[in-house]
């Protein structure tokens, strides 16, 4: 995973895998909610006012390769990820890309934006695809007046086939983004805990209603 200009290291993946494997209260995790296709946990971080959110998501009947395409292909992702009216690739490099996100906020709260390094790779030994996100700084996308620049603390997605069904997917998402500026942290943590559920619902619905039909027409 190393390269001279690569912002990602094996330690970044190790952190995500470690937090994925920890669920007990003794390790700081608290259960939040579960549905038929999702299970949400949260963890307080003594170094940040923002919780680390973890979601275990299931996508029955959706193959891992399609889930990867829906997440990693930003042109496709813009069609189902409605929280971001702007998703722009600032640069694409051999091992990662730089991506700008504009986040629409509720009335009375300033919009946010994010600048991230994003890396999508496969771990053959673990039969695992992963997408890692890191906070980025780039002079081509300076801060915009009236928009607050948020900060990525820890974020990643782990994608695997279901053990008994290679045409279904299980996914772990970890999210810890500090919105910075003024916004009640209780609202931040509530919205963050909802995000994995919205992800599962939006991706699965887009796959059923749009993606499969377009794929059939193109074949």
pLDDT truncated to tens, each residue of the chain (219 aa)?
Answer: 544 588 999 999 999 999 999 977 878 999 999 999 999 999 988 888 788 999 999 999 999 999 999 999 999 999 999 889 999 999 999 999 999 999 988 888 889 999 999 999 999 999 999 999 999 999 999 999 999 999 999 999 999 999 999 999 999 999 999 989 888 777 776 777 788 999 999 999 999 999 999 988 887
Residue 40 lies in a domain: yes
Q: Is residue 164 part of a domain?
A: yes
- Nearest-angstrom CA–CA distance, 57 and 154: 18
Please, which residues have CB within 8 angstroms of residue 26's CB and are 6 or more apart in sequence? none
Here the CATH number for the domain that contains residue 74 is 3.30.530.20
Q: Give the chain's mean pLDDT.
A: 92
1 in a structural domain: no
The angle that helices 64-72 and 185-206 make with each other, rounded to 10 degrees, is 130
When divided into structural domains, the chain yields a total of 1
In-domain check, residue 158: yes
Q: What number of residues does the chain have?
A: 219
Domain range enclosing 38: 10-218
Span 78-135, pLDDT tens digits: 999 988 999 999 999 999 999 999 998 888 888 999 999 999 999 999 999 999 999 9
- Domain assignment present for residue 177? The answer is yes
165 contacts 64 by C-beta, under 8 angstroms: no
Residue 2 lies in a domain: no
- What is residue 188's predicted lDDT score, i.e. its pLDDT? 75
Please indicate, yes or no, if residue 4 is contained in any of the structural domains.
Answer: no
CA distance 30 to 43: 6
In whole angstroms, give the CA distance from residue 34 to residue 208.
22
In a domain, 28, yes or no: yes
């Amino acid at each position: 995973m190393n390269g001279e200009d690569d912002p990602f290291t094996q330690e970044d993946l190790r952190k995500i895998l470690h937090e994925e494997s920890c669920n007990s209260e003794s390790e700081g995790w608290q259960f939040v909610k579960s549905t038929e296709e999702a299970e949400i946990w949260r963890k307080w971080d003594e170094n940040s006012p923002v919780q680390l959110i973890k979601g275990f998501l299931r996508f029955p009947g959706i193959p891992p390769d399609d889930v990867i395409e829906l997440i990693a292909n930003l042109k496709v992702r813009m069609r189902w990820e409605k929280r971001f009216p702007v998703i722009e690739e600032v640069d694409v490099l051999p091992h990662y890309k730089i991506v700008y996100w504009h986040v629409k906020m509720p009335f009375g709260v300033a919009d946010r934006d994010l600048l991230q390094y994003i890396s999508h790779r496969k771990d053959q030994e673990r039969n695992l695809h992963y997408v890692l996100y890191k906070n980025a700084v780039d002079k081509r996308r300076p801060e915009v007046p009236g928009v607050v620049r948020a900060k990525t603390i820890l974020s990643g997605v782990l994608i695997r086939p279901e053990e008994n069904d290679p045409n279904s997917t299980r996914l772990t998402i970890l999210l810890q983004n500090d919105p910075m500026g003024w916004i009640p942290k209780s609202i931040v943590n509530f919205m963050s805990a909802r995000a994995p559920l919205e992800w599962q619902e939006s991706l699965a619905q887009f796959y059923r209603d749009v993606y499969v039909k377009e794929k059939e027409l193109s074949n």
